[in-house]
């Protein structure tokens, strides 16, 4: 509802903070599709989110903070391979899954 209200003002920038909090996987998938559609309309999206699986498919650029310190910045493909990001957020399992998907 809040996203709809924000879009009614025809913004050029949409800022969301932890928008996926409390959503189940099905709802998250729908939200990702909504954000993708919003981005395709030319609206810039700044998304603060800890669910990396949400960020990766819809982001052009990712900045990763750990305790307020920037530990990585770049395109999603580079972020998933960054050792500091893997250690802080993704874990070995995600890094190996991403590697297998690229093979």
Q: What ranges do the domains of the chain cover?
A: 1-49, 60-103
The whole-chain average pLDDT of the chain stands at 86
**pLDDT over 60 (residue 63):** yes
Strands 69-74 and 62-66: antiparallel
pLDDT of residue 96: 57
Secondary-structure breakdown of the chain: helix, strand, coil percentages, each rounded to the nearest 5: 50, 20, 30
pLDDT of residue 94: 57
Per the DSSP assignment, residues forming a β-bridge with 72 are 64
pLDDT tens sequence across 5-25: 888 888 999 999 998 999 999
pLDDT of residue 30: 94
pLDDT of residue 103: 56
Share of residues in the chain with pLDDT > 70 (%): 87
pLDDT of residue 33: 94
């Amino acid at each position: 509802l809040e996203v709809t209200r924000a879009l009614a003002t025809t913004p050029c920038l949409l800022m969301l903070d932890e928008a996926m909090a409390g959503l189940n996987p099905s709802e998250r998938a729908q939200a990702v599709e909504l954000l993708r559609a919003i981005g395709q309309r030319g609206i810039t999206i700044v998304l603060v989110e800890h669910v990396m699986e949400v960020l990766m498919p819809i982001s052009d650029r990712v900045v990763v903070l750990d305790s307020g310190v920037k530990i990585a910045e770049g395109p999603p493909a580079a972020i998933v391979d960054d050792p500091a990001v893997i250690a802080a957020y993704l874990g070995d399992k995600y890094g190996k899954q991403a590697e297998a998907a690229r093979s």
